[in-house]
Structure 1
């Protein structure tokens, strides 16, 4: 795999929240470092809950709130060694604040976990089954630990759990 520094994370806070997205970008970069063999670019966006709900409705035909969405980029022609867009991760600021309060953590940390979850979707992980969710959480924890964070053995989307849907 490529060293994490070969991957670029473009960060955009559309909420004017003032919250730091540095940790989130680090975790996304670490996930790419593990799973991408060529340089990749990911756009990491912090958006309002209303905007994320609109995106969920438009692209997933689900008229409901959600905490994070991942949108893979379309494949582009060109040499495989060149930097390529992998996709976009959109985190709901409103949901991140709520989930952080419920977990008793800072919003920056919850955003980082949500961004990591989104990044793993972009590199091919899924959470449609219990086994897939367990594998995804194990990878999230491994990456987080490598970045100096405590593992969260029971991390999951609090919103998804409350709605009886998969994260």
Structure 2
């Protein structure tokens, strides 16, 4: 299994978060030339209260957000717009942990409604986004943001989801 999932918010079951997470993670890893069988991701499907607590604890921002990611290693590119260092598989049959992701139900529902998207498509986008963070991609610097957005759009298109950055 590529995604080790804990669902604290049962409403995530309505859109089959386990299947969405597996699909998003496998798509990102394949796009990056990585074998999904060699890696594992931990995912928490939670509610706004829980993610607000995590956001406060880890980022000093005591409010809900849509998704948080904690990479197992620092992989970021040194140069703005450069590719991060790819993760290395641990050993055959023993997947390397890439890190943890948390995704908040109420925030995702609200954002999907505001953007006129299905919860399923919006959640897939956020899961793709979170997995890219685990691989060392970020959006703080302009070049990094452009690269990350380009990859998100490409991966989502392969899954039949329209560009989330177009209005």
Alignment deviations for residues 3-42 of structure 1 (CA, whole Å, 9 cap, x no partner): xxxx712233211103222234311221122336461101
**Which TM-score applies when normalising by structure 2?**
0.77
Contact conserved, 1:25 with 1:112, CA < 8 A, in 2? no
Give unpaired runs (5+ residues) of structure 2.
75-88
Give unpaired runs (5+ residues) of structure 1.
1-6, 156-167
- Deviation, structure 1 residue 132: 2.0
Alignment deviations for residues 113-145 of structure 1 (CA, whole Å, 9 cap, x no partner): 111111000001010023322211110011111
Alignment deviations for residues 72-126 of structure 1 (CA, whole Å, 9 cap, x no partner): 2369xx9554311111111111110000001111212111111111100000101
Matched with 2:39 is: 40
Structure 2 Cα separation of the partners of residues 58 and 99 of structure 1: 23
Once the two structures are superposed, the pairs formed by residues 113-128 of structure 1 within 5 Å of their partners are 113-128=125-140
Contact conserved, 2:28 with 2:132, CA < 8 A, in 1? yes
> Which is worse superposed, 53-62 or 7-16?
7-16
SS of 1:132's partner is helix
Change in 2 beyond 3 A, CA 1:33/1:16: same
Stretches of 4+ moved more than 4 A in 1? 78-81
Matched with 2:26 is: 29
Matched, 1:129 2:141: yes
Matched with 2:70 is: 71
Matched with 1:16 is: 10
**Which TM-score applies when normalising by structure 1?**
0.77
Structure 1 Cα separation of the partners of residues 138 and 47 of structure 2: 24
